[in-house]
Amino acid sequence: GENVEQHPSTLSVQEGDSAVIKCTYSDSASNYFPWYKQELGKRPQLIIDIRSNVGEKKDQRIAVTLNKTAKHFSLHITETQPEDSAVYFCAALRDDKIIFGKGTRLHILP
């Protein structure tokens, strides 16, 4: 089955700097890669996703890149703000199942 590895587990960046979270997946047949943000005590919410026929997608300060050959995908957040503090989960779709990574806790330092 699919296995999604995510790193780092914790990331602290200065407000205004960029943050990068990286994920790898094991099943080359996976074709959809969403990212979810979970604030403390809240439910996970989709922030961006990418399909396997696209190499990069951007939405304002958030971008995701996908390298199908290497089975890597990354989340990039630019000009970080205090409200970006949360846990971020990458995920991969295989056989109708969305499999999540273990999460990255992002701290934005003032």
Partner 1 sequence: GAGVSQTPSNKVTEKGKYVELRCDPISGHTALYWYRQSLGQGPEFLIYFQGTGAADDSGLPNDRFFAVRPEGSVSTLKIQRTERGDSAVYLCASSSGQGGTGELFFGEGSRLTVL
At its nearest, how many Å lie between partner 1 and the CB of residue 49? 8
Are 105 and 10 within 8 A, CB to CB? Answer: yes
- By CB under 8 A, what part of segment 27-66 binds partner 1? 32, 34, 36, 42-46, 49, 51
Cβ pair 103, 90 in contact under 8 A: no
Instruction: Work out whether 70 is an interface residue with partner 1 (CB under 8 A).
Output: no
Q: Which stretch binds partner 1 (CB under 8 A): 13-21, 62-70, 78-86, 92-100?
A: 92-100
Q: Determine if the peptide bond prior to 8 is cis (ω within 30°).
A: yes
86-94/62-67 β-pairing: unpaired
**What's the closest the beta carbon of residue 18 comes to partner 1, in angstroms?**
23
Least separation in angstroms between residue 87's CB and partner 1 is 9
Residue with the two structure tokens 């099943």: 27
- The residue among 78, 73, 76 whose CA lies nearest residue 99 is 73
> Which residues contact partner 1 (rule: CB under 8 A)?
1, 6, 32, 34, 36, 42-46, 49, 51, 89, 93, 95-103
